[in-house]
A and B are shown apart, each in its own frame.
Chain A
């Protein structure tokens, strides 16, 4: 079995090993020399795409042949690396703009940590397999791996996330929503654990990019005035999205009723006749009644307004991720006993100001 640790120092050392920290540690140099995307990272993003928008031969008989291709067949994995590496601007006061925050390796590493956590808890349905990693890689990746190391097998074994089955990878991502690192040393809001951000990056963004127009660009990173676009998009065939339109003859009229200020002009259609006066579709919008005589005297609060933080239910993870005792109450009662941000007016205590500190703060893992 692959060795792993969810210890955050190990994670930060891992970041360092990937060159992320050292790259960011010298922002003033101005010219970044980004590390090349490694075969491990490529395997991880291919594994993400393979799980989120897979190739689905099983949908051919059910929905049609256009539903078979997935993200890997259009190179979505490569773009995801580019997308994540360019998602956030990175500037340093005094040094100015430094470029973008290269996050692909760090995100991939967090996914491997999530995979390790899943396997350690025995929550994976199928055992990890290096064969899955090999299957995800292109022959050129394997050649590169062979060039980079004398021991390619041990390198492949580091890609634990990619070694999981499709559904186990999703379980590993879900586990990141509640992943807990030791945050006791950290004051203030930076202690929030939001490795969950990684889940949103790799699931939410994979989905929005795949189902958007992305595939239609020759190069979406080109300057906007030089970008070329052709509406040839696999996912549009799958959603039956008709493409970018300048308009649609879709007007059914304006909703209203005979005794209402809404709807005017001729009647185009009667839409609903049950319950109350018939609702009709009119040629003109009509207007909203605008009276000074609005009456709020019978207003009631259907639910509690005391401000008690929600502790369980679907938001439990969000709540438990907050560090410290949240004892604040509703604004209305003017209780000023809030834990950490009252006395200093919202400026929390300084934390680690090193670049690793910033990066790990972004990922919510501390350093």
Chain B
């Protein structure tokens, strides 16, 4: 049963909330985590998409690798429908978030949040993005994050990602284009490197020139044939990767926050997780004069619609960079002009290279790149001040929509590319689409991730009247600056150069519409929260998710930094109030 009151209530069990829960629980505080989505891989909810199940989980014994195996099929369409941001009930669609133009918000719901679909990439921020770009308060520096990076990377086993054919093609192209190999964790120069991934390294048995004939199952699985531990080199991170099959929950290779931190949080004996609970209001007491003080939250059960109120000494917002400002704006809180504003989303793009079979035979010794093998994203290019590139293997459905299904510049046939370094640009459909998708296994897609800067016009608003069962819905506004567009163009040109140097005979640029996957800086430190991530305008109200980041970190995937900051915030909460 959920109790009436806790020391701390955390709103959201996404990428960052479980880190704060673990730290606070370990400090002896009584913690409740409320999550809007379901809890996968938990005995309390054997069929979490088909009925309400239990109310709450507070024991590590509830966690089940077998259930995760059953629920996470790694079939890309089914998993996208299951994990994208909506209620647990499989009969209900996604929660609508309005995005301008043709972009989309790609959040996930469920314990683990968007780390359920993330690709395990765990690089640190570029130090210069914090210490040299002027978005962060002077009193905060990269140095403040370092001890937390080190601790959490150790917990998750972050290490350089393995090489399969697609990474080898990229690295060869980057070398031929004249870039250096970076071997620093704190990146200050331009170059390429393997991704630091929060994914356990694959078993050496899976060497490509071994004749492995096992079934890729974990030693604990009674049906395992030639068992393996670690990543199995099925590129399934985006589709929920529960591999190796048969592994205990904590031994799954990809360390989502649900795998990496939830067991630790529950193991403290002080943390309870309540899924299917959508928080709709932050409660405050302003009778004491001065700033109001957070006293609890109200949430709505997504199965039965019932509402409950929970009292807490401290409230932590960890609902993500769209939902956290939405919750603030929908609650009766002071109007800080920066709430929801200054959003960065790494303004992405996709550049895909296609290779002749003979070229591949010469470079990787086989006629295919096989984007379905290896870790989804295992190689990267860093360019502080501009952003980054990363190779992106995936199933063919995701490859199709990333590469060809979405564009801000219409269809390929309407674009004049006489001056462009790529061969085609835009959406592709019809015979040409089928022709290029026939080369799926000879394709190397590269994701462009731009160091877009915070602009006040970009962010989250709510409009009374445009609402769902949880109140006014978030509307996402995003217009990049001229500098953002130039940074993205520069990265697309570098990607094209690397692909050409690797031997690509055809390069396609999507010119993707702005899409919110990496989302940050909507409750920015220095604007909405102080350097301890407590709201300037509400006492005992903290933010422990990517919205507290003051910018987009220079372009690196934000999970590591969001988690490091959440761990630091948990320490601050203990220091200030307990």
B381 CB, nearest partner CB in chain A, Å = 13
Given A250-B208, A288-B196, is A346 in contact with B481 using a C-beta cutoff of 8 Å? Answer: no
**In residues 123-166 of chain B, which contact A (Cβ within 8 Å)?**
127-128, 131-135, 142-143, 146, 150, 159-165
Of A18-26, A139-147, A148-156, A327-335, the one contacting chain B is: A327-335
Of B56-64, B86-94, B259-267, B570-578, the one contacting chain A is: B86-94
Taking a contact as CB atoms under 8 Å apart, the answer to whether A241 and B396 are in contact is yes
B549 CB, nearest partner CB in chain A, Å = 12
A192 at the interface (CB under 8 A from B): yes
- Other-chain contact of B50, A200, A225, A235, A342 (Cβ < 8 Å): A225
- Other-chain contact of B437, A166, A204, A238 (Cβ < 8 Å): A238
A119 to B328, alpha carbons, bound, how many Å? 47
A268 CB, nearest partner CB in chain B, Å = 8
A255 at the interface (CB under 8 A from B): yes
B341 at the interface (CB under 8 A from A): yes
Given A208-B401, A304-B486, A347-B462, is A244 in contact with B73 using a C-beta cutoff of 8 Å? Answer: yes
A314 to B425, alpha carbons, bound, how many Å? 10
Residues of chain A contacted by B312 (CB below 8 angstroms): none
B118 at the interface (CB under 8 A from A): no
B102 CB, nearest partner CB in chain A, Å = 4
Of A4-12, A110-118, A129-137, A354-362, the one contacting chain B is: A354-362
A163 CB, nearest partner CB in chain B, Å = 18
- Other-chain contact of A289, B163, B185, B370, B464 (Cβ < 8 Å): B185
A161 at the interface (CB under 8 A from B): no
How many A-B pairs with Cβ below 8 Å? 512
Taking a contact as CB atoms under 8 Å apart, the answer to whether B305 and A96 are in contact is yes
B92 CB, nearest partner CB in chain A, Å = 5
A88 to B99, alpha carbons, bound, how many Å? 14
Of B16-24, B26-34, B226-234, the one contacting chain A is: B226-234
CB-nearest residue of chain A relative to B49? Answer: A224
Given A97-B469, A240-B440, A247-B216, is A262 in contact with B194 using a C-beta cutoff of 8 Å? Answer: yes
Residues of chain A contacted by B163 (CB below 8 angstroms): 251-255, 281
**In residues 346-386 of chain B, which contact A (Cβ within 8 Å)?**
368, 370, 372-374, 384-386
Instruction: Point out which of A56, A223, A331, A352 has the most chain B C-beta atoms below 10 A from its C-beta.
Output: A331
A109 CB, nearest partner CB in chain B, Å = 18
Residues of chain A contacted by B456 (CB below 8 angstroms): 328-329, 331, 335-336, 338, 342
B506 at the interface (CB under 8 A from A): no
Taking a contact as CB atoms under 8 Å apart, the answer to whether B430 and A207 are in contact is no
Given A239-B441, A241-B396, is A213 in contact with B127 using a C-beta cutoff of 8 Å? Answer: no
Residues of chain A contacted by B212 (CB below 8 angstroms): 249
**Inter-chain pairs besides A93-B471, A208-B77, A305-B453, 17 sampled, C-beta below 8 Å:** A52-B433, A53-B429, A89-B93, A95-B469, A100-B91, A211-B437, A223-B47, A239-B441, A251-B162, A276-B181, A294-B127, A305-B483, A309-B479, A315-B480, A346-B339, A351-B465, A362-B98
